[in-house]
A and B are shown apart, each in its own frame.
With several copies, the nearest count.
Chain A
Amino acid sequence: GGAGETTVAVYAAASLSEAFEDLAARYEAANPDVEVRLNFAGSARLAAQIGAGARADVFASANGATMGRVAAEGRTAAPPALFARNRLALVVPAGNPGAVTGLRDLSDDSLVLAVCAPEVPCGALARAVLADAGVDADADTAETSVRAVLTKVMLGEADAGLVYATDVAAGGDKVAAVPLGPQTRFNDYPVAAVSDRAVAAHFMDFVLGPDGRRILSDHGFGTP
């Protein structure tokens, strides 16, 4: 917008990058005098940067715990709000070489299975879903990022992976999703203003508002 008389620094989790690039573009179109500066990285990294005094205005985390820590340190200007919801998906490489038909098959030790580490949200979600289904799956790798799981499946190096539903599209025709049926567990994404500048609250309202919801749902996110 314009020469960028005002800027708003938005720190967003890497898995939100496509959605937030769209959000930023739309926001700049609606507010020509504001320039959105995006910084994408893992939630924990962003939290560390904010903790170290980065000039961030808005923080969108993929991880409630991380946001909780930032809030606990008193770095948020307003209470966090949940703005997006994600479901778990089971993906297999195109052609499904491991002949995976559902969660049950994941207990097969000869399968190369990639999931997230239990300490990160997608891992916690995966573990809970597997437990609910009563499946005792031994993962070959516990990734710290969902995209790392997806990468391994896309390359055919893993026979199956548990990722977020929003990631399936990113796999294009290299991966196929195996239907999981109705789910009761989700991961919800919080967003918070971390500066008390008016533009921070304004951008946050935009994300939570109807335009924001539509863009997020275009990218596969649900509403919490």
Chain B
Amino acid sequence: MSRRPPVGVLAMAGVAIGVLGLPLVGLLQRTPWSSLGATLGEAATLEALRVSAVVSLAAAAVSVMLGLPLAWVLARLPFRGRALVRAVVLLPMVLPPVVGGIALFFALGRRGLIGRALQNGFGVDTLIGTTAGAVIAAAFVAMPFFVITAEAGLRQLDPRLESAAATLGAGRWTVLRRITLPLLAPSLAAGATLSWARALGEFGATITFAGNHPGRTRTLPLAIAQANEAGQPEAAIAMSVLLIAVSLVVLVGLRHRWLAPRRRWPEPSQEIPSP
């Protein structure tokens, strides 16, 4: 069933691409290409890029490691209040990032809910100004994306395939490793990508909760915001272009099927080309 889509659909898709893409084109058009090299060559920029890479990757990793079990529980374990937990998982998306940062203080700050426990148990005095704090802030806003995507993927999985594996002698972990996760791979990749992207662009919760410390918590978005505040819009734009370039390379580089479930059926167009 793949024939040339109706013109209306194509037109709407075009408008959508315009809405999402034109601002980027505008950004590129206004980019001060001559001074770009200078800005990007600055040690501070490279440092921010490094912090961004570390923080976003760590946040994505945390999101996957904690989010996968949570998604599994939400998808597979019927319990009272499941709808509530699922809604709570979405809340960090709704919270303005600044409030998110403040809420993180209330939980993990010195006087927060488990602040004392952190202090006594792990010797963590304060997370402000630490990369760990930046990672926590980024993971807080990024994890929901992974959880939602992974849960949807898990639910879409045919559980009979897992049963079939069990009847062939596969234990719980073998089923997970050889059947569930590979079948889920597209959803996991999509979720990890979404949460990585969200963590990479994260600004409000990070600057609030972890502060803006060069080399430790100053990520590219923080550096961009500061350049903007400091009256260096060119530098801000140059760094934004850097951020975009890095993202594009990563996103295009990921084999594009990762962003979408692996084909289980032949690409429809192979079977039914348009006349």
* Residues of A near any B CB (own CB < 8 A): 9, 14-15, 17-18, 37-45, 47-49, 51-55, 63, 65-66, 68-69, 112, 114, 117, 119-120, 139-145, 147-148, 150-152, 154-158, 167, 169-172
Contacts and interface: CB of A to CB of B under 8 A. Distances in A.
Nearest to B112: A52
A9 B232 CA distance: 24
Nearest to B130: A140
B224 to A, nearest CB: 10
B226 A14 contact: yes
A48 B212 contact: no
Contacts of A143: 207, 211-212
Nearest to B228: A44
17 contacts: A14-B225, A14-B229, A41-B211, A43-B229, A44-B228, A48-B102, A48-B105, A48-B233, A53-B109, A53-B111, A55-B125, A55-B128, A112-B125, A119-B230, A119-B231, A142-B218, A151-B102
Contact of B231 (A18, A38, A53): A18
A59 B229 CA distance: 16
A147 B225 CA distance: 10
A151 B227 CA distance: 12
A17 B226 contact: yes
B98 interface: yes
A44 B235 CA distance: 14
Given A112-B128, A114-B128, A155-B102, A141 B228 contact: no
Interface of B: 98, 101-102, 105, 109-112, 115, 125-126, 128-129, 207-208, 210-214, 217-218, 225-233
Q: Most chain-B CB neighbours within 10 Å: which of A37, A55, A141, A143?
A: A141
A147 to B, nearest CB: 5
A157 B105 contact: yes
Contact of B207 (A53, A63, A144): A144
Contacts of A156: 109-111
A20 B253 CA distance: 41
Contact of B226 (A37, A119, A169, A170): A119
A139 B211 CA distance: 10
A158 to B, nearest CB: 7
Contacts of B126: 52-55, 112, 140, 157
A114 B208 CA distance: 11
Contact of B128 (A42, A140, A154): A140
Contacts of B214: 38, 142
A59 B207 CA distance: 16
Contacts, number: 158
Given A14-B230, A52-B109, A155-B109, 15 more contacts: A9-B129, A18-B230, A39-B129, A41-B208, A44-B231, A45-B228, A48-B102, A48-B105, A54-B128, A117-B230, A119-B230, A142-B211, A142-B226, A147-B228, A155-B111
A171 B214 CA distance: 25
Given A52-B128, A119-B226, A150-B231, A141 B212 contact: yes
A51 B237 CA distance: 15
B111 A54 contact: no
A148 B62 CA distance: 27
A18 B232 CA distance: 10
Given A53-B111, A119-B226, A157-B109, A39 B233 contact: no
Given A48-B105, A55-B129, A39 B229 contact: no
Contacts of B125: 55, 112
Contacts of A63: 231
A158 B229 contact: no
Contacts of A167: 231
Contacts of A49: 105, 128, 208, 211
B233 A45 contact: no
Contacts of A152: 128, 211
Contacts of A66: 231
Contacts of A52: 105, 109-112, 126, 128
A142 B229 contact: no
Nearest to A156: B111
